A and B are shown apart, each in its own frame.
Chain A
Amino acid sequence: MFDDLRDLYQEVIFDHNRNPRNFHVMEAADRKVEGFNPLCGDRLTLFLKMDGDKIIDASFQGSGCAISTASVSLMTEIVKGKTEAEAEALFTQFHEMTTGKEEEINLEAIGKLAVLAGVREYPARVKCATLAWHTLDAALKNEQDSISTE
């Protein structure tokens, strides 16, 4: 059962879905942006604490599918300590990986996020994985309003 899905639903994804990291409201956040995927109802609020152009803390709240929850959970871990430019560069690489534009995955740059590469085989699910990053992008550009993947 579900043998075909092992590329998409890796154990790391189940783990982050069951126990999402950085899953809390950040009272002293410098940036707070809501992300919404109206197609499936995934909804998240992303909080960032900045020091100049450096992300020193990230957290989130919300509900969504396993892919979107794991994606935002992993993202909040990986962007901590990154500069805005570094985070944006990661977003670009992540986007290329999930949409299949980049055949070869740059494991060194993308690290743990590689577990989400499987969504490229499931076009209907790409937005689940990228919602977190679109929300981060809006937060870094200091767009305070909510954003939507549609």
Chain B
Amino acid sequence: MTDFPVEKIRADFPILQEKIRNKPLVYLDNAASCQKPQQVIDSIVHLYSHEYANVHRGVHTLSVKATDRYEGAREKVQQFINAQSTKEIIFVRGATEAINLIAQTFAKENIKAGDEILITAMEHHSNIVPWQMLCEQTGAVLKVAPINLQGELIYAEFENLLTDKTKLVSVVHMSNALGTVNPVEKIIAAAKAKKIPVLLDGAQAIPHMSVDVQALGCDFYVFSGHKLYAPSGIGVLYGKQALLEAMPPYQGGGDMIRKVTFEETEYNSLPYKFEAGTPNIADVVGLGAAIDYLNTIGMERIAAYEAELLDYATEKAKQIQGLRIIGEAGAKGAILSFVLDKIHPHDIGTMLDSLGIAIRAGHHCAMPVMDFFEVPATARASFAMYNTKEEVDILMAGIADLIEIFG
């Protein structure tokens, strides 16, 4: 842990210098959204100050510069997740929009009444509701593979639910409510054996581990920028080129067309077919800057550091009487969800806030997970590469004190 440059990283995040209720900020709500380094903030300021115009349209110098920056960011994303081509990188608003896009194009085209879509019991609402909407439209059926009390997918049950009726598997790579990292290699192999396409919801996984979509072999991978130290309002849909080529467009408008007459319209090639209208240019550039920043550190190192941090936090949490960890999967990312005896998570959240500690208290957009563990909500501390053991100590001391106060 000593060789990880956490202090240097912290210095790059201006918000970490903020005081909250007169205490130094301890930001542990990274699974909801993480903070942005100066390099990302500067990239946006620089674009708007020196290089901004609309993309893909103008012959003038600024438009060419802006297009270079925008398409340059696409290359960075392609390399970051090791996609085969930039044609496979579609910019969207976030993971939620990406899943809705796939549901309303690929899935709507290929799924009919009686077909099944298979998800898991630990999905975020964004990987449940778009499929329920699709099922309502098509008469398809949503199947849910169960989890055990550790918060792990019961793989045998998942395999049993994988049948000839299954037309799409859509699973979370890492759970936002539990921290569980799913055995996606096994899941993909089992689905491939039956020629079933697989979508991975990578919103939570992407900032915590190195992701290689070709090695994984998934058909779709989606994530949001704001959890990857990039701006909010920008996300990525990765899809295998052949699948994207065959899919109908999602929205119609400018940029996604090659030729328009009142009689017919010819759609543009990939990736532009799925990017109707003026895109979120500045935030795409910000996403590119975030990836540059992460590359200077290295995802493997970040993963190793965060694993140590989580182990440390878990060990400390287990020493607190009356604290129950929700989600104890063997393979887990840097998320510590917990409940305290007779103290509601919202009281925990408010009390810790008064100490400058930001955690999430609630259902984490995963109400079915809360129902499964029979809790109304949990408190969740979620870590990022800029968090420290000292911050874990502050959190644990705060929890111990609030337990005493509630007595």
Chain A interface (Cβ within 8 Å of chain B)?
Answer: 1-2, 4-5, 8-9, 14, 17-18, 39-43, 63-67, 122, 124-125, 128
Contacts and interface: CB of A to CB of B under 8 A. Distances in A.
B346 A40 contact: yes
Nearest to B376: A41
Contacts of B401: 1-2
A64 B345 CA distance: 9
Nearest to B361: A40
B158 to A, nearest CB: 28
A5 B376 contact: no
B93 interface: no
A4 B355 CA distance: 9
Interface string B336-352: 00000001111100110
A125 B354 contact: no
A2 B347 contact: no
A5 B354 contact: yes
Contacts of A66: 343-344, 347, 406
30 contacts: A1-B355, A1-B398, A1-B405, A2-B401, A2-B402, A5-B350, A9-B351, A9-B405, A14-B405, A18-B407, A39-B362, A40-B344, A40-B345, A40-B376, A40-B377, A41-B362, A41-B363, A41-B375, A41-B376, A42-B344, A42-B376, A63-B344, A65-B344, A65-B347, A66-B347, A66-B406, A67-B346, A67-B347, A122-B350, A128-B346
A5 B361 contact: no
Given A40-B362, A41-B376, A125-B346, 8 more contacts: A2-B355, A4-B21, A41-B363, A41-B370, A42-B344, A42-B376, A64-B344, A122-B350
A8 B346 CA distance: 13
Interface residues of B, number: 24
A17 B347 CA distance: 11
A41 B377 contact: yes
A64 B355 CA distance: 22
Contacts, number: 62
A66 B370 CA distance: 19
A14 B361 CA distance: 20
Contacts of A40: 344-346, 361-362, 376-377
B162 to A, nearest CB: 33
A122 B402 CA distance: 18
A65 B346 contact: yes
Nearest to A5: B354
Nearest to A124: B350
Contacts of A41: 362-363, 370, 375-377
A13 B360 CA distance: 23
A35 B269 CA distance: 52
Interface in B307-361: 343-347, 350-351, 354-355, 361
B326 to A, nearest CB: 13
Contact of A2 (B354, B370, B376): B354
A66 B406 CA distance: 9
Nearest to A66: B347
Nearest to A62: B376
Contacts of B355: 1-2
Q: Which of A9, A39, A40, A42 has the most CB of B within 10 A?
A: A40
B173 to A, nearest CB: 26
Nearest to B401: A1
A129 B351 CA distance: 16
A128 B405 CA distance: 20
A9 B346 CA distance: 13
A9 B349 CA distance: 13
Contacts of A39: 362
Nearest to B405: A2
By Cβ-Cβ distance, the 4 closest A-B pairs, closest first, are: A41-B376, A65-B344, A65-B346, A41-B377
A39 B361 CA distance: 9
A125 B350 contact: yes
